[in-house]
Structure 1
């Protein structure tokens, strides 16, 4: 990938952010050297590693790799048998500690729901060399200190040194106390590694010893008293022995590491790679990225892509596709509308994806593998080379045309601008036509109307625009594919206060073709906005219909469950009554048999009666079942003769009702049975005869007008009872009004309102409403066996 495009598309800024997430120096170096790849399999492998690392971070938390050190020089010294110094051994120990931590992080239980991924083999290949690492930690406390227990010889030497030090300080404290008047300060100092006293120059002869130093003024001499010279000599000898013991300890530790140089090299390589991979995962998590799918057919489909270098609170996601129905996309629109950002987003996402980085876009976005990405974006003017803006851009375009092929992605910002518009537009069309014929994937921004027409009239070329709100004079930054953009120069100028007569004069200088084209674009934009609003309304209606349908289906299911439950309960109660009757009869007959036997009466007749009674009970019991048998209608109904409002009996439910819809192709109709409306097959219905319906005054009106027939038909479907349990007062009154009207029209003498006892608020609200109805003669609470205070009986006039 050429270096120029990396700078133009600001890929290096992404790499800088990636480097900040690496914890080790080798990992940071690997991040800094990351470049886009062009091999499909390598790209997919890199993307998979990033995704697997991100999955582990989400499931197990972050992995700290901050202790990884570059130990390659130390490994070379070990290979030739050299002993390592304290800092080198500590670096190796730090590396091994991180390796142990990473290996534990990579392990998971067999029962744990954690998929095998591309990182498993790396974690398994780590070798912490725990025994040697523990020995290094035991012997070396810091870069300046070796433990006293590192070796028996070192322990013995340091114990002797402590003894000599104590003796020296005892002697010096004694001299200090006896010769305090000779001393400049009452302290013990070190000079050339030996203990001395600061003696005043004039008292030099009073302190017998060796002079090691003097102050800058010459007033103080640092004298080593003769009494401690021998002790200092012994201490110096012990220090030399101590250094030899330390060197022996370091040589021993180095010798223990020599067999593991290959394992150490592998650990360094794997941990550096893991640091690099987890840095990519951290970057993906920061930008809320997703793994793109890759193809080698040149297809790009970015869903809600957000440029990673823009403010995440303000950036507007764009959706763009290329390479399916068209391979050249022409983006138009006003300045500062987001055209350049759209170009850079597509180019930067391609570079990031081919480098193994996730992209900040919606899940399922697709990118193509390109061998080269070319971009001509920004001001290319060069004062040093005496090139104008147009010349500089053209120099870059010539280079692109010489290098680009069908495996390239080309991005042009304001193609052939900076020169005569007519010549620039013609030149731009020729350049784009050349790239289009080469099947090169191309995106270009422009203000030229000729290029918009070229995109409309050329197969495989598509228009796009960055939306602009003329009412607010602000771009929306939305990219709309399939619609050419409008410059909006006149609208913007008018909004900013340019007089109408100047704008009108400017319109007269427009070519008629240009004006017509701009009008077409305006109408397209208006139609698009209208269609989007209508589409949103349709989606809202569809969602509401789906919600209502779901609610009705649930209500129907609850009704069916309730109906089956009631039938089962009734059959179970009937069977229980029969069982109790049978037991009572058996018990009574046995008692009679006993009495008859004790009285000497012949019991054969009684036993025969008992057998007959038992047989009768069995027949009745056998006739009951938890599932009622469906009765057959006495006379089949002709679907063509069935009319709306006909009175029918639903045989399976043993309820009367009225037909509220005509039969469909399967013979199903809707029947209204009181407050219940159910879908029933015509084979489960039986027509009701008029003379089978009874009610007050019905005989006198049987030969009446059509309205009487309507009333009789109405009565077929009215239940003598309404249930308003669980409703509010307002809901109950609304249901009650319609029910009472229907019941009154149907000439029912009285009806029952089931409202329950509860707090009494519902009952009080219903009674208050009933007092206002003039066609009600009276109402009262139900008596014993009628529901008591939970039911109100209403009598009509």
Structure 2
């Protein structure tokens, strides 16, 4: 077991006080103060696993609520022996039961997950019926609930009724004009548990009754009138019965508790241990601690370790190790540079890990479990024992040398200080050599160059130094392993203003070997700083390269998104081209129908030639539209000479046909009828044709030419009485519907069927709206059974 003296030296006791502050009840606080380092690796790992699981689950589900429970062991033991407990003790036991139930409810949040804490949770005693009985029976530590038993409820009801009768009689007396002049005050009060009235001393003979008390001045007598004596006696009898019933109920409750006293006591112990585990977790959160890897091979390696008693904002993380590449670490450097804090951090974090605590160090840190952690740190001179600083250190070191073995971690501060430097240095080297031969792992601080040289020349002994900024004359508290430190006494003195001659004279007294050694150390430090600067530059360049790579990746992502947008735009344009192609094809099909019907006419050859020319022109136009991705569609810049009006003859470039404007343009599109097709086309695809005056001539000529050519009019064609609009959008469907009705009217049909399907109802609504406003439609209705029902509309034409 590690001596309490060494635990106090490394300040573990202060850490345990912080742990106690995180606990929820007094017993767990005391348990926290008594935490001791584990004596074996298995025990240390077990304790650490408890803390790790508590921290893991609390991070996910929050900390469980633990009420301010008290230790009820004494009360439970008396209840087991048959004694009656006080209401306060029963309430405390109820609180313990409620706390255990709360912990169990918290654990049930993650029932499917295994935990080393499960053994403690299984020890919790859950007896809801006992808890409910206690809670329902007890109002406070001084009173039982009326409903604690039927008898108690009945007795208290009778007491209240008797009290009301007494007060009723006495109230009648104090309001009576006969008695008012006898009373000191018109009130009803109590003396010795009996109702009385205050009577003036001079009229005490006028009120018949029992005198229970007098005022301090003697001017008032408190008299119980004879008329209420019997009622007061009745109340007294009932109150005695009430007290007996209360005692009986408390004895019954105590017996119930006594029957479960052992289980409650065991559950309380498990709850206290669970509270300690969660206290360790809270302390880890407060210290921003991490989980170390525990071993027993003597290798301790701490990464970015911080002393837990130094505020997080002020602590400078250090990397410190022992036992892997070297067994002895010699730390040098100027005073107040952080040497002592470094070895204290090494020792304290080792003890914390052995106590099952997470440590304030980065992930990946390794801590070995030692049988002994021995420390000689600080000035322990004693006037009472006539011990100087050197003597007190030597007393501790003698004890340490006697206890140390291969399973020990030894921490020595200012080894060899306080005596002649030559002898002190020689003694320090000898002590380090002795401890090293015993197999102990050592971290020591010193100023002696002889010990630095020993570290350079001896295997498995390493130098380290606490960095010092000579420009600001202040330490940086960084620990640099592999580099011996300098005291910088001359430089600091010079910067502080000491005369240069004194410093130069002092340098003459330093031995040549020491001067040469310090020069080598200085050169090493200069080289290290240069390498550090180069490393920082390389780090900065690497970060810049990483940023450039990220920016390039971001640019690539933007280009990919832009490409996707372009492709989507091309797909949209392709869909438009397909629509335009479909319209063009429809026109060609209409012309082919007319040509077929005119094949027996004389001018059939002329019609066929014009159709071929038109077909070739349309095909050239389609070829120009066939490459939407590359955007090969090119048109000459054209602007309309004036706004379009209804009736204008225009040339539609995308259809390669002339058409007539059916109504004024809306926005950037205009509705045009080109041959048999009514379509909305962009204004950019429209070229203004002949003026209005020439339109009639063109239309008349076209009509004459058509009649002469023998082409049969639309009205004479065979027209079906059924139109299928499924698959079209609303606008296309309305255009198709208009053309269909025109053909049906010219063909003399009286009834037509429009197929729009059921679907979402959008197409059906569009058809209905158009039929409702069409001039040639007399009426319309949805289909009946056998006609297609809601999927068709039947229209009657005028």
SS class of match (1:107)? helix
Shift of 1:427: 0.8
CA distance in structure 1 between the aligned counterparts of 2:511 and 2:406, rounded to whole angstroms = 38
More displaced 10-residue stretch of structure 1: 487-496 or 378-387: 378-387
2:148 aligned to which of 138, 147, 150:
150
Residue pairs, 1:564-603, within 5 angstroms: none
Asked whether the equivalents of residues 68 and 268 of structure 1 are also in contact (C-alpha less than 8 Å), the reply is no
CA distance in structure 1 between the aligned counterparts of 2:394 and 2:342, rounded to whole angstroms = 22
Shift of 1:181: 5.0
Shift of 1:94: 0.9
SS class of match (1:410)? strand
CA distance in structure 1 between the aligned counterparts of 2:205 and 2:382, rounded to whole angstroms = 83
- Is 1:41 the equivalent of 2:42? yes
Spell out, residue by residue over 1:278-321, the C-alpha distance to the aligned partner (whole angstroms, 9 max, x if none). Answer: 11111111111112111111111112222121233222122211
Spell out, residue by residue over 1:534-564, the C-alpha distance to the aligned partner (whole angstroms, 9 max, x if none). Answer: 0111122233334445656776798899999
What is the aligned length?
616
Residue pairs, 1:192-207, within 5 angstroms: 192-207=192-207
- Is 1:80 the equivalent of 2:81? yes
> Counterpart in 2 of 1:429?
429
Shift of 1:491: 0.8
> Counterpart in 1 of 2:667?
none
Shift of 1:225: 3.6
Question: Do the aligned partners of residues 437 and 158 (structure 1) sit closer, same or farther apart at CA in structure 2, a change above 3 Å counting?
Answer: same
Question: Do the aligned partners of residues 146 and 518 (structure 1) sit closer, same or farther apart at CA in structure 2, a change above 3 Å counting?
Answer: same
Shift of 1:208: 3.7
Asked whether the equivalents of residues 18 and 280 of structure 1 are also in contact (C-alpha less than 8 Å), the reply is yes
> Counterpart in 2 of 1:406?
406
Shift of 1:426: 0.9
Shift of 1:514: 0.8
Asked whether the equivalents of residues 68 and 271 of structure 1 are also in contact (C-alpha less than 8 Å), the reply is no
Query: What TM-score, normalized by structure 1, do the two folds share?
Result: 0.69
Spell out, residue by residue over 1:597-655, the C-alpha distance to the aligned partner (whole angstroms, 9 max, x if none). Answer: 9699xxxxx9xxxxxxxxxx9xxx9xx99xxxxxxxxxxxxxxxxxxxxxxxxxxxxxx
Residue pairs, 1:738-753, within 5 angstroms: none
Structure 1: gaps of 5 or more residues: 601-605, 607-616, 626-783, 786-797
> Counterpart in 2 of 1:392?
392
CA distance in structure 2 between the aligned counterparts of 1:471 and 1:311, rounded to whole angstroms = 26
Question: Do the aligned partners of residues 95 and 561 (structure 1) sit closer, same or farther apart at CA in structure 2, a change above 3 Å counting?
Answer: closer
Residue pairs, 1:466-477, within 5 angstroms: 466-477=466-477
CA distance in structure 2 between the aligned counterparts of 1:188 and 1:235, rounded to whole angstroms = 16
> Counterpart in 2 of 1:312?
312
More displaced 10-residue stretch of structure 1: 227-236 or 446-455: 227-236
Spell out, residue by residue over 1:45-81, the C-alpha distance to the aligned partner (whole angstroms, 9 max, x if none). Answer: 2222222222222222222212433222232234334
> Counterpart in 2 of 1:528?
528
Asked whether the equivalents of residues 86 and 140 of structure 1 are also in contact (C-alpha less than 8 Å), the reply is yes
Asked whether the equivalents of residues 374 and 409 of structure 1 are also in contact (C-alpha less than 8 Å), the reply is yes
Structure 2: gaps of 5 or more residues: 603-607, 609-618, 628-683, 686-798
Question: Do the aligned partners of residues 185 and 364 (structure 1) sit closer, same or farther apart at CA in structure 2, a change above 3 Å counting?
Answer: farther
Asked whether the equivalents of residues 327 and 440 of structure 1 are also in contact (C-alpha less than 8 Å), the reply is yes
CA distance in structure 2 between the aligned counterparts of 1:134 and 1:561, rounded to whole angstroms = 65
SS class of match (2:260)? helix
CA distance in structure 2 between the aligned counterparts of 1:537 and 1:482, rounded to whole angstroms = 22
Question: Do the aligned partners of residues 480 and 181 (structure 1) sit closer, same or farther apart at CA in structure 2, a change above 3 Å counting?
Answer: farther
Spell out, residue by residue over 1:560-590, the C-alpha distance to the aligned partner (whole angstroms, 9 max, x if none). Answer: 99999999989x989999x999989997999
> Counterpart in 1 of 2:416?
416
- Is 1:288 the equivalent of 2:251? no
Question: Do the aligned partners of residues 562 and 361 (structure 1) sit closer, same or farther apart at CA in structure 2, a change above 3 Å counting?
Answer: closer
Query: What TM-score, normalized by structure 2, do the two folds share?
Result: 0.69
Spell out, residue by residue over 1:80-101, the C-alpha distance to the aligned partner (whole angstroms, 9 max, x if none). Answer: 3444332222112111211222
CA distance in structure 2 between the aligned counterparts of 1:7 and 1:214, rounded to whole angstroms = 67
CA distance in structure 1 between the aligned counterparts of 2:215 and 2:439, rounded to whole angstroms = 87
CA distance in structure 1 between the aligned counterparts of 2:444 and 2:591, rounded to whole angstroms = 106
Shift of 1:361: 1.7
> Counterpart in 1 of 2:134?
136
SS class of match (1:358)? coil
Shift of 1:176: 4.4
Asked whether the equivalents of residues 372 and 408 of structure 2 are also in contact (C-alpha less than 8 Å), the reply is yes
> Counterpart in 2 of 1:775?
none
> Counterpart in 2 of 1:449?
449
> Counterpart in 1 of 2:58?
57
- RMSD after superposition: 3.9
Shift of 1:115: 4.3
Shift of 1:492: 0.9
Residue pairs, 1:610-649, within 5 angstroms: none
Shift of 1:234: 1.7
Shift of 1:132: 2.1
Residue pairs, 1:88-99, within 5 angstroms: 88-99=89-100
Question: Do the aligned partners of residues 552 and 169 (structure 1) sit closer, same or farther apart at CA in structure 2, a change above 3 Å counting?
Answer: closer
> Counterpart in 2 of 1:496?
496
Question: Do the aligned partners of residues 255 and 411 (structure 1) sit closer, same or farther apart at CA in structure 2, a change above 3 Å counting?
Answer: same
Asked whether the equivalents of residues 303 and 361 of structure 1 are also in contact (C-alpha less than 8 Å), the reply is yes
- Is 1:116 the equivalent of 2:114? yes
Asked whether the equivalents of residues 68 and 272 of structure 1 are also in contact (C-alpha less than 8 Å), the reply is no
Shift of 1:166: 1.6
Asked whether the equivalents of residues 76 and 257 of structure 2 are also in contact (C-alpha less than 8 Å), the reply is no
CA distance in structure 2 between the aligned counterparts of 1:219 and 1:599, rounded to whole angstroms = 147
Question: Do the aligned partners of residues 186 and 424 (structure 1) sit closer, same or farther apart at CA in structure 2, a change above 3 Å counting?
Answer: farther
Asked whether the equivalents of residues 154 and 242 of structure 1 are also in contact (C-alpha less than 8 Å), the reply is yes
> Counterpart in 2 of 1:333?
333
Question: Do the aligned partners of residues 591 and 368 (structure 1) sit closer, same or farther apart at CA in structure 2, a change above 3 Å counting?
Answer: same
CA distance in structure 2 between the aligned counterparts of 1:561 and 1:7, rounded to whole angstroms = 65
Asked whether the equivalents of residues 80 and 255 of structure 2 are also in contact (C-alpha less than 8 Å), the reply is no
CA distance in structure 2 between the aligned counterparts of 1:480 and 1:439, rounded to whole angstroms = 24
CA distance in structure 2 between the aligned counterparts of 1:83 and 1:561, rounded to whole angstroms = 81
Spell out, residue by residue over 1:435-490, the C-alpha distance to the aligned partner (whole angstroms, 9 max, x if none). Answer: 11112111111111111111111111111111111111111111111111111111
> Counterpart in 2 of 1:238?
238
SS class of match (1:406)? coil
Higher radius of gyration, 1 or 2? 2
Spell out, residue by residue over 1:682-712, the C-alpha distance to the aligned partner (whole angstroms, 9 max, x if none). Answer: xxxxxxxxxxxxxxxxxxxxxxxxxxxxxxx
Residue pairs, 1:240-319, within 5 angstroms: 240-319=240-319
- Is 1:170 the equivalent of 2:141? no
Asked whether the equivalents of residues 77 and 258 of structure 2 are also in contact (C-alpha less than 8 Å), the reply is no
SS class of match (1:359)? coil
> Counterpart in 2 of 1:508?
508
SS class of match (2:24)? coil
